Amino acid sequence: MIDLPRSGQILPKALSLSDVNRLLSPPAITSPLMHRDTAMLFLLYSTGLRVSELVNLPLAACNLSSCFVRVFGKGNKERLIPFGIQAKEKIETYIAHGRLAILNGKRSNFLFVTARGTAMTRLRFWQIIRRMATAAGITKDISPHMIRHSFATHLLAHGADLRSVQLMLGHADIATTQIYTHIDQDRLKSIHRKFHPRG
């Protein structure tokens, strides 16, 4: 009959804007694989895709003219997610200078391909992210899911509404998205100072 103590809420870890900027400023791209990896990273941060959605994204699901990706997430639910001009440019460059070179005559329906013509594994992309983070001088333990958390956190910090972020992330319950409102402590403090009569 005794209530157990509640464990604290575990907040998702997100990168700072300065870390993201460093991560998205790679050294000179010198190979088709670097074109692919950079395009994947830009699209991941621009859309907040789950890593499984990113690595399995069909070529036909990416509409470069309107800057949208069409994704079937958990429960096979479809959603359309916009992406920015920088991600578009990186994908166009990868398609023009990387994808065919990686395939080397093979055919594939996936946007981001391996030399076998198959989709990349989640583990392989995690390894790529870590290598790129190390090259950018980021020492914290980074993962593709941390990029997704950063996408949501930064959108909310810059004024995006919770419902829109929920739709882009593909969360069934808005309470799952709401956790990101607790991450940006500086923003919460500034809101308190601005609107509280004794702030």
pLDDT single digits (tens) 84-133: 999 999 999 999 999 999 999 999 999 999 999 999 999 999 999 999 99
If one looks up domain 17-195 in CATH, what number appears? 1.10.443.10
Catalytic status, residue 97: no
Of 90, 148, 149, 154, the catalytic one is 148
Most confident region among 15-29, 55-69, 146-160, 166-180 by mean pLDDT: 55-69
73 in Cβ contact with 53 (< 8 Å) = yes
Catalytic status, residue 189: no
pLDDT interval class at 199 (50, 70, 90): low
Of 88, 90, 99, 171, the catalytic one is 171
- CA Rg value for the chain: 19
Over pLDDT 70: what percentage of the chain? 84
Q: pLDDT tens digit string along 135-167? A: 898 888 888 888 988 888 888 888 888 788 888
Geometric angle at alpha carbon 131, from 53 and 23, rounded to 5°: 75
Catalytic status, residue 50: yes
- The residue-averaged pLDDT of 55-70 equals 95
Of 35, 36, 45, 50, the catalytic one is 50
| The pair of three-digit structure tokens given for residue 25, joined into one six-digit string | 């400023």
pLDDT interval class at 52 (50, 70, 90): very high
Residue spans of the domains in the chain: they are 17-195
Dist CA 15 CA 83 (whole Å): 19
- DSSP state, residue 75: G
- The residue-averaged pLDDT of 78-84 equals 92
Catalytic status, residue 145: yes
Which comes out higher in pLDDT, residue 189 or 111?
A: 111
C-alpha dihedral sign at 44, 93, 121, 22: negative
Of 74, 77, 116, 131, the catalytic one is 74
Which comes out higher in pLDDT, residue 143 or 28?
A: 143
Dist CA 80 CA 71 (whole Å): 6
Catalytic status, residue 196: no
pLDDT interval class at 169 (50, 70, 90): confident
Dist CA 168 CA 171 (whole Å): 8
**Start-to-end C-alpha separation, the chain:** 41
CB within 8 Å of 197: residues ≥ 6 apart: none
Of 70, 130, 145, 187, the catalytic one is 145
pTM: 0.82
**Alpha helix stretches (DSSP H) within 5-143:** 17-23, 32-47, 51-55, 85-94, 100-103, 122-135
| Main-chain phi, psi angles of 178, to 5 degrees | -65, -20
Catalytic status, residue 131: no
pLDDT interval class at 180 (50, 70, 90): low
